[in-house]
């Protein structure tokens, strides 16, 4: 079999908020994008659920879908696809996944561009190539990755909304009723006192046999705060402490990991095995969290195997992913030995359900792994049209 890529289509999708945008505590830098209005380090966020879909078609008529994690400025990765990566993919055999990944990275690595938007854009194409491969061979992607270790994935819910401790605790109760026995709490971003109050309230209500607990600091803690929170999390028997310190501080993460019992988890900002290698080998990352929409299936598998060699568990990071990104993460999670737990983010997934037909499903806090060829996701382009803000096609 020697098929060829004939065209690449790119859809920038922005799901607008359904209600009134709450502007309290936010400093808007454009009509859509904002940062937290505080002295804490803040990433930029959008009021929309934004993503980029990549549709790859071959000369045999087989279509594959990929998704890029692009919660802000999706036009950047779309431009890289349009002018650089998509033209490179034309005429290539999408079955040669590893070769194409390395070829794409090689085009810019000597200039230092081995991360960020370039690798994000590569991930979208890579996922689509694997979708094509599975459909061409009539197999689910996990079967081509070595076969499944499991047919269900235990999930933790990562969206626990609420402006204060009371509201968030009420939502933890709701999630427990829905079948989740693990949640991740995101920092309020206003110092350790409020975060500790919420974590202690959850643990007072649900002990470690009833609810696994994780905490994501988004890189906002000072060293002092990280040690205080880390020791408290250890007392609570938390599963992991995610991104406690600023993302450049690998040595700080290593020292913290040595000092507390709770595992330090890192991965959201990292790209490729070359970056993960330094974090894993130094002991700075005790749980790895690569993101499918930033690493792709090919590199995610290599990161998982690298972590396995150091006896480090794998818990994929997911944020504003829609069905394609979720499905790709599910297939990788099913096919690796060191899988720990799956991050379930329901918001964008539910909002995009009108145009996404996915064969995976959630049952009482577990994802059932699909068996359809490829990723097991179909996109209704007609139904998606209202959410598409930009579209283009690159063809031979």
Q: Is 200 exposed, middle or buried (0-12, 13-18, 19+ CB in 10 A)?
A: middle
Question: Could you identify the residue written with the tokens 């002018």?
Answer: 83
* Mean pLDDT in residue range 124-133: 98
* Residues recognised as catalytic: 218, 317
Kindly tell me if the per-residue pLDDT of 342 is higher than 80: yes
Beta bridge partners of 263: 240
**In whole angstroms, what is the distance from residue 104 CA to residue 66 CA?**
16
> What is the number of alpha carbons within 13 Å of residue 379 lying toward its C-beta?
29
Residues 6+ apart with CB under 8 A from 334: 142, 148, 149, 150, 151, 153, 369
- In this prediction, residue 39 has a pLDDT band, given cuts at 50, 70 and 90, of low
CA 307 to chain centroid = 17
Mean of per-residue pLDDT scores for the chain = 94
Kindly tell me if the per-residue pLDDT of 393 is higher than 80: yes
What per-residue confidence (pLDDT) applies to 25?
76
Structural domains present in the chain: 5-138+380-395 (3.30.390.10), 144-368 (3.20.20.120)
Structure confidence by residue, pLDDT tens digits, 310-330: 999 999 999 889 999 999 999
Q: Is 108 exposed, middle or buried (0-12, 13-18, 19+ CB in 10 A)?
A: middle
The tokens describing 109, both together, are 């690595």
Give the number of other Cβ atoms within 10 Å of residue 252's Cβ. 17
Give the number of other Cβ atoms within 10 Å of residue 363's Cβ. 10
Predicted TM-score (pTM) of the model is: 0.95
What per-residue confidence (pLDDT) applies to 1?
62
Kindly tell me if the per-residue pLDDT of 348 is higher than 90: no
- In this prediction, residue 84 has a pLDDT band, given cuts at 50, 70 and 90, of very high
Q: Where would I find the H helices in 290-393?
A: 292-309, 323-334, 346-351, 381-384
Kindly tell me if the per-residue pLDDT of 259 is higher than 70: yes
- Short-list 263, 354, 253, CA closest to 312: 263
**In whole angstroms, what is the distance from residue 1 CA to residue 128 CA?**
18
E strand or H helix at 137? helix 116-137
Structure confidence by residue, pLDDT tens digits, 146-162: 999 999 999 999 988 89
Written as one string, the DSSP assignment of 24-66 is TTEEESSSSEEEESSSS----EESSEEEEEEEEEETTS-EEEE
What per-residue confidence (pLDDT) applies to 114?
77
Question: 88-91 contacts: CB < 8 A, separation 24 or more?
Answer: 89/5, 89/8, 89/56, 89/125, 90/4, 90/5, 90/6, 90/7, 90/8, 90/394, 90/395, 90/396, 91/4, 91/5, 91/396
Structure confidence by residue, pLDDT tens digits, 281-320: 999 999 999 999 999 999 999 999 999 999 999 999 998 8
What per-residue confidence (pLDDT) applies to 216?
96
Kindly tell me if the per-residue pLDDT of 203 is higher than 90: yes
**In whole angstroms, what is the distance from residue 382 CA to residue 230 CA?**
48
Q: Are 185 and 202 in contact (CB under 8 A)?
A: yes
What per-residue confidence (pLDDT) applies to 40?
65
Kindly tell me if the per-residue pLDDT of 141 is higher than 80: yes
Three-state DSSP at 342 gives strand
**In whole angstroms, what is the distance from residue 253 CA to residue 273 CA?**
18
Measured at the CA of 272, the angle between CA 270 and CA 276, to 5 degrees, comes to: 60
Question: Could you identify the residue written with the tokens 């790209």?
Answer: 271
Q: Are 125 and 104 in contact (CB under 8 A)?
A: yes
In the chain, % of residues over pLDDT 70? 99
- In this prediction, residue 37 has a pLDDT band, given cuts at 50, 70 and 90, of low
Kindly tell me if the per-residue pLDDT of 345 is higher than 70: yes
- In this prediction, residue 113 has a pLDDT band, given cuts at 50, 70 and 90, of confident
**In whole angstroms, what is the distance from residue 388 CA to residue 396 CA?**
24
What per-residue confidence (pLDDT) applies to 239?
97
């Amino acid at each position: 079999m020697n098929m060829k890529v004939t065209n690449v289509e790119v859809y920038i999708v922005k799901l607008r908020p359904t209600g009134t945008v709450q502007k309290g505590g936010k400093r808007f830098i454009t009509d859509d994008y904002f940062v937290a209005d505080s002295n804490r380090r803040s990433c930029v966020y959008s009021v929309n659920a934004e993503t980029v879909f990549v549709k790859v078609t071959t000369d045999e008529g087989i279509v594959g879908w990929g998704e890029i994690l692009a919660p802000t400025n999706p036009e950047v990765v779309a431009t890289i696809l349009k002018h650089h990566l998509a033209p490179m993919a034309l005429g290539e055999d999408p079955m040669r996944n590893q070769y194409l990944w390395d070829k794409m990275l090689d085009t810019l690595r000597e200039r230092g561009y081995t991360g960020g938007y370039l690798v994000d854009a590569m991930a979208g194409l890579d996922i689509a190539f694997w979708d094509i491969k599975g459909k061409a061979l009539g197999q689910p992607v996990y079967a081509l990755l070595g076969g499944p270790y499991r047919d269900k994935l235990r999930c933790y819910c990562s969206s626990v909304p609420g402006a204060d401790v009371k509201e968030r605790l009420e939502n933890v109760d709701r999630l427990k009723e829905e079948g989740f026995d693990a949640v991740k709490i995101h920092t309020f971003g206003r110092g350790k006192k409020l975060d500790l109050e919420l974590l202690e309230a959850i643990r007072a209500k649900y002990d470690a046999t009833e609810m696994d607990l994780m905490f994501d600091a988004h890189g906002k803690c000072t060293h002092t705060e990280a040690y205080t929170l880390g020791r408290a999390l250890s007392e609570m028997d938390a599963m992991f402490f995610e991104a406690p310190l600023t993302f450049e501080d690998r040595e700080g993460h290593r020292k913290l990991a040595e000092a507390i019992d709770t595992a330090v988890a890192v991965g959201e900002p990292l790209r490729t095995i070359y970056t993960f290698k330094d974090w894993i080998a130094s002991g700075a990352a005790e749980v790895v969290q690569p993101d499918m929409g930033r690493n792709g299936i090919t590199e995610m598998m290599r990161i998982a195997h690298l972590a396995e060699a150091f006896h480090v568990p794998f818990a994929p990071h997911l944020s504003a992913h829609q069905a394609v990104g979720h499905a790709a993460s599910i297939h990788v999670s099913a096919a690796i030995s060191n899988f720990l737990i799956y991050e379930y983010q329901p918001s964008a997934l539910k909002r995009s359900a009108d145009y996404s037909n996915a064969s995976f499903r959630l049952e009482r806090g577990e994802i059932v792994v699909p068996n359809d060829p490829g990723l097991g996701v179909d996109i209704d382009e007609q139904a998606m049209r209202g959410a598409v803000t930009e579209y283009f096609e690159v063809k031979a």
